[in-house]
Amino acid sequence: MANADTSFQLTAPTSQFERQELFGLFLAGLATLALLVAWVGAGGLAPWALLLFSTAAYTVGGYLYFKRHLKRPAGIDNDGLMFSSSTMRGAFGWVLGVVFTGVYVLLYFFPSTLEGLIAMTDPLSEIMRGRGADEWFMYGFLYTLAVLVMGIRMLIKYRHSTYQIVRTISVMFFQLGFAFVIPALLQIFNQPEFYFHYFWPLEHNYLFPSTVDFFTDTTRLGVFMIVWGGLMTFVATPVLTYFYGKRWYCSWVCGCGGLAETAGDPFRHLSDKSLKAWQVERWMVHGVLVLVTIGTAILWINSAMEGGLLGGFSNAFASAYGFYVGAIFSGVIGIGFYPIMGNRVWCRFGCPMAAILGLLQKFYSRFRITTNNAQCISCGNCSTYCEMGIDVRWYAQRGQNIIRAACVGCGVCSEVCPRGVLKLENGPQEGRYNGPVLNDGEYAFVEPDESWKAGRSGDGAPSSDNGQQVFMGEDIPVLSDEEWR
């Protein structure tokens, strides 16, 4: 008979940590304390000490804590995810949501309250930009630190997957280099601040007439920046999306996606998979795209008419869009709500870049996630871990390829599948859309659409006398729409 201390649990209780892990948490706690000390006013007294200590403590502490994954077999497990208060909308999760949201409220509305933290980053700003720090440099530093530290976690946790490793290194590289270092160095050479991995419509003002005039009136580099933005928007975006889907940007390059895929990874399962959420998502994200497109067009018409259309209202529109969509939606809600609504709130419901990439992916791309329903055991891992709220299992059970405008191609659904049902592929456009494949006893019922039929023509598949497809020597009836319903 087992004694009272005997446990039949196959995994270690999540409340038990080894000394190394506890020390890592201790260092992370000290780093947070250092930031609080800087916040309340000490940032200007010992900026280098607080800056270096908090950075080193977060990095080393995070590594020591994340090393716990190395003691387990390679592969993704829930690691107590579904029982943690912080990742299952428990009390601690709501506290995190309030804290994240509160920080963004202070950043956008009351930046003067962050003077201590801003002063802490002054020495680094002097070196990189040749001037003192402001709230945006401080924010960029902390944002980049979060992507890098949580990126270490991703590299350790997903070490079994080359795709996930390369993808994580990519977002870390673009955030550090293109979102933090290069814009800062441009300023030290008296060049306009520019983010080469952001372009219209995500960086909406890059195609506004006032922005174009400002960049073209400065230096030749400013002209190059405008040309670069135009080429990336109207040439590179459709070409790359055709070959690779929207994942080339949303999961490999974008800074918003970079934070979501690293710091937001523990919350990916919180995305709403309901049909209602999908309906709201489609209206909202495409509504924002329409808004920024029409707004940009009207601004150019107004500029061509020398203000005869809108007058001074054009500046009011640009400011309102930047505030309500660029600040409130993408920042306060988009990141602040990670612990409540998942890590892709902004990407799902508000990002115009995700919207236009999604339309291209759905109707003009070679990307798809293929499914093998014969191997599916309906465990639901794929749907649970989909950060974009796609019910992946529904497609897998029916044997249908997943070609959804929302899919960012993160590949985690494929990683968590225990049966190898899902596979990210770039194939010909023909035959991407296929109907459900149903196994019913001795028969497999297939409802291919016209493009799927065209893609299968001439492949040598036998046919019966009545024109139906033959499978394993049997006639396979092709269901009509009415019969399927």
Q: Has residue 46 got a pLDDT over 90?
A: no
Say how many C-beta atoms besides its own lie within 10 A of residue 350's C-beta: 22
pLDDT tens sequence across 317-331: 777 777 778 778 888
Both structure tokens of 328: 């409130």
Q: What pLDDT is stored for residue 309 in this prediction?
A: 64
pLDDT tens sequence across 116-128: 999 999 999 999 9
DSSP string, 241-273: HHHHTTHHHHTTT-HHHHHHHHTTGGGGGGS--
Residue type, 441: G
The least confident of 84-88, 385-389, 476-480 is 476-480
Strands 367-371 and 437-440, how do they pair?
Answer: unpaired
Q: Has residue 485 got a pLDDT over 50?
A: no
How sure is the predictor about 42, in pLDDT bands with cuts at 50, 70 and 90? Answer: confident
How far apart CA 60 and CA 26 sit, in angstroms, is 11
pTM, 2 dp: 0.83
Mean pLDDT of 371-383: 90
Mean pLDDT of 204-233: 84
Q: Class for domain 366-426, per CATH?
A: alpha beta
Strands 367-371 and 422-426, how do they pair?
Answer: antiparallel
Number of helices (H) and strands (E) in the chain: give both, helices first: 23, 6
Q: Of 352, 346, 347, which Cα lies nearest the Cα of 207?
A: 352
Both structure tokens of 112: 């003067």
Both structure tokens of 453: 């039929």
Mean pLDDT of 422-429: 88
Q: What pLDDT is stored for residue 258 in this prediction?
A: 93
How sure is the predictor about 220, in pLDDT bands with cuts at 50, 70 and 90? Answer: confident
Give the up-direction half-sphere exposure of residue 453: CA atoms within 13 A in the CB hemisphere: 10
Q: Has residue 439 got a pLDDT over 80?
A: no
Q: What pLDDT is stored for residue 358 in this prediction?
A: 95
Q: What pLDDT is stored for residue 276 in this prediction?
A: 92
- The secondary element (H helix, E strand) that includes residue 28 is helix 19-39
Contact 355, 406 (CB under 8 A): no
Both structure tokens of 81: 């995810």
Both structure tokens of 96: 């995190």
Q: What pLDDT is stored for residue 437 in this prediction?
A: 67
Residues contacting residue 126 through CB under 8 Å, at least 6 positions apart: 132
Could you tell me which residue, 347 or 435, shows the higher pLDDT?
A: 347
Contact 345, 337 (CB under 8 A): yes
Alpha-carbon dihedral angle through residues 88, 93, 98, 99, given to the nearest 10 degrees: -140
> Residues for the chain: how many in total?
485
How far apart CA 230 and CA 232 sit, in angstroms, is 5
Question: What percent of the chain lies above the pLDDT cut of 90?
Answer: 48
Give the mean pLDDT of the chain.
83
Q: What pLDDT is stored for residue 472 in this prediction?
A: 39
How far apart CA 136 and CA 140 sit, in angstroms, is 6
Q: Has residue 387 got a pLDDT over 90?
A: yes
Could you tell me which residue, 305 or 224, shows the higher pLDDT?
A: 224
Both structure tokens of 181: 């270092």
Q: Where are the domains of the chain?
A: 16-71+110-186, 366-426, 437-484
Mean pLDDT of 190-198: 88
